[in-house]
Amino acid sequence: MVLEVNELSAAYGKKVILHDICFQLTAGSICGLIGPNGSGKTTLLRCVSGILKPRRGDVLLSGISVDHMSRSKIAKQLSFVPQSGGVQFNYTGLDMVIMGKAPHLGLLSSPGKKEKDEAALIMESLGISHLKDSHYSEMSSGEKQMTLLGRAVMQNTPLLLLDEPTSHLDIKNQHVVMEMVKEIAKDSDKTLFITIHDPNLALKYCDHVIMVGDGGLQAEGPTSTVMTDSNLSTIYGLIIRNEVTSSGQRVIVQHGS
């Protein structure tokens, strides 16, 4: 298993956010993490990445507990794309992508032509070559998100954690990013664990879905079996239905409160 989460509970101070979360992810899968705002999606990613220590339970990366791993070892197992990335210095887009190589370089090593060429190819594959010389601080939110995705690809880890990678993108680019995510999983056998705001994106692109709500895991399994009217209506507190369009595509529609 690439990722195992066992009886995980997390809290900020006395406020419990998550309790008794258990699941496993295998190589080459795309797992969507969905739930209402404040349900603990980002908190779960922070626990998986080792940024936040769980109150109890364990996170295993390729069979090894995160508690027993250094930050450099964790960085070789997973890359994390946050909703927004603040930087202290005015790096270019190319510089930001090259930073993904840092965990694989020696202590006194610095990226050379090989790494720069690799970063340029990644940016080209993501359609952001035009951002190579742009200052990160001057990019739009969507451009920053794409640049951080490039950095994660450059990091070349078995597991990628993406915290709402489509949140700052228009409808077209939401699908562009998710198609890229699909290709990354397909071509490199990487596992992607993604928090998604729109359940229709999860329905279209994810193999596996985890639903969280009321501090716990509400449903988990293959997308086709988890994304039911009942499960969706329960976690969002709305009347939600799966419908089929005239072209035969399954879509999720809100019918009322």
When pLDDT is cut at 50, 70 and 90, the band that residue 108 belongs to is low
In the chain the beta strands, taken as DSSP E runs, fall at: 3-12, 15-25, 30-34, 56-61, 64-65, 78-81, 159-163, 191-195, 208-213, 216-222, 239-244, 250-256
Nearest 5 degrees, angle CA 227-CA 33-CA 46? 165
When pLDDT is cut at 50, 70 and 90, the band that residue 169 belongs to is confident
Is 256's pLDDT higher than 80? no
pLDDT in tens, 208-250: 999 999 999 999 999 999 999 999 999 999 999 999 999 999 9
pLDDT of residue 85: 64
170 in a structural domain: yes
CA dihedral 97, 124, 201, 186 (to 10 degrees): -90
The arithmetic mean of pLDDT across residues 176-203, rounded, is 91
179 in a structural domain: yes
pLDDT of residue 88: 60
Is 46's pLDDT higher than 80? yes
- Please indicate whether residue 114 or residue 1 has the higher confidence score (pLDDT): 114
pLDDT of residue 76: 94
Is 84's pLDDT higher than 80? no
The reported pTM is: 0.92
Q: What is the residue range of 80's domain?
A: 3-88+154-226
> How many domains are contained in the chain?
1
The closest of 178, 193, 191 to 41, measured between CA atoms, is 193
133 in a structural domain: no
CATH number assigned to the domain comprising residue 11: 3.40.50.300
